[in-house]
Amino acid sequence: MDPRRAEITPTKLISALRRYRLLPAIVFLPTRRRCDESATEIAGDRSQPANTEKEKARLEVFKAFSELHPEIIGHKHTKTLLRAGVAAHHAGHIPAWKLLIEKMMSAGLLDAIFATSTVAAGVDFPARSVVISNADTRGNEGWRPLTANELQQMTGRAGRRGRDNVGFVILAPGQFQNPRKIAELLRSPPDRLESRFRATYTSLVNLLDAFGNFAQVREITDKSFAFRSNGPGGKRLRSDEVWQQFEDRSLVLDHLGYLDRKAENVTHEGKWLADLRIDRPLLVGEALRNGIFDDLQPKEMAALIASVAADSDRNYGEMHTSRKVEDLLAEFDEVILSVARVERRFGVEPDETLNYSAAAAAERWAQGMDWDELVDRTRAEEGDLVRLLSRTGEALRQIAGLRLSNAPAASIAAAAAEAMLREPVR
């Protein structure tokens, strides 16, 4: 059988693993949709043997768990989980549902979990076997080959401590399977560490505030892993290139009054900007200084913050914002264009995009829309919605805690955060 052509179906795969006593298993699949479809297909296969004792135990766990996490009641995969003892686990599901899956797997109540490769690094599932279906994975930038570290994380899940003498890794046949490539990766040394240290406005004002001069900030930068990090297009950056990014951003911050380059210190505005540990803090900071947030309803502030907190390419449906929020977004856009002009002047690539669909979803949620209706209206995966609303709520909490001279924005942000961070958003 050519492993790159003939793809084994989920039902045949699980049946084969059961026949050779290789369950429970984690089956890694490239997309969320494939994970959900595979679990559903197993549940619909009447040839799969039933285990009434485990099914009863799963129901008991579900009932107890749902008392603490009522948001899982009515989940669309409940029947699949309880009857078939299989589940999908990926970022598209709400956190409580994923926690339930982990709890059942740890208790030995599931035969298989269908998961994306990102799960491998974050969760310790006890499994006898791991199934690798692809030599490639799908990320934010599209399809790419698995790395040695990713494969090591995935294969490292095989074998239950105290129960299995060995763990098993199976390469399932598939269109994008490549056994030779997998074998090479398994023999490869670990990938080089890549620093997450980045030249950002927040890191610059925090470092300058802590060390008091640019020379020491430069020394810290040089000692970091930043000189090994990849820049745009995969280009490997040197320490002087990273420092130039800091230099460019310091010129922007100096121009806008968040730091004084000549005196090498952080201004009062820069000190509270340093506490904004969110994406695009400079845009939020300028909106605060321009008073855009001073006279809003909590739902309106939630919408504005969601528009910059969301991933720009993520779609949250066709809902529209209210006319007031539409006008506010236009005003917010003027702030973004103003900041962008300064950034271009000093060699910083601006980010001028707002996510209007995220703003609409956040406004409706903060206004009190029911969760099921929000999911239905946005047609977004629940996990993606939770991340958006949670990220927005945490950003609002940070604004609420800032040492601002104008208190209205902080109190509005606190109310907006409370409206956002309600069940099932945490």
Alpha-carbon distance 395 to 313, whole Å? 19
Domain final residue pick, 274, 294, 317: 274
Residues of the chain with pLDDT under 50: 1-4, 226-231, 233-234
Same domain? For 227 and 182 the reply is: no
Same domain, 38 and 134: yes
Is residue 419 a part of any domain in this protein? yes
Q: What is the CATH number of the domain that holds 316?
A: 1.10.3380.30
Q: Are residues 38 and 174 in the same domain?
A: yes
Shared domain for 15 and 129, answered yes or no, is yes
Give me the phi and psi of 169, to 5 degrees please.
-115, 120
Are residues 49 and 180 both part of a single domain?
A: yes
- pLDDT score, position 234: 47
Q: Are 324 and 366 in contact (CB under 8 A)?
A: no
pLDDT value at residue 256: 96
pLDDT digits (tens, 9 = 90+) for 23-54: 999 999 988 899 999 999 999 998 889 899 99
Residue 292: HSE in the Cβ half-sphere, 13 Å Cα cutoff: 26
User: Same domain, yes or no, for 230 and 332?
Assistant: no
Q: Which structural domain range is residue 290 located in? A: 283-426
Q: Count of domains in the chain? A: 3
Euclidean distance between CA atoms 301 and 331, whole angstroms: 13
Q: d(Cα 354, Cα 329) in Å, to the nearest integer?
A: 8
Q: pLDDT tens digits, residue range 193-203? A: 666 667 889 99
Residues 339 and 233 placed together within one structural domain of the fold: no
d(Cα 232, Cα 241) in Å, to the nearest integer? Answer: 12
Q: Do 417 and 326 share a structural domain?
A: yes
Does 339 reside within a domain?
Answer: yes
Q: Give the pLDDT confidence score for residue 145 in this predicted structure.
A: 81
In this prediction, residue 144 carries a pLDDT of 81
Identify the helix (H) or strand (E) that includes residue 107.
none
Residue 89 phi, psi dihedral angles, 5° rounding? -140, 110
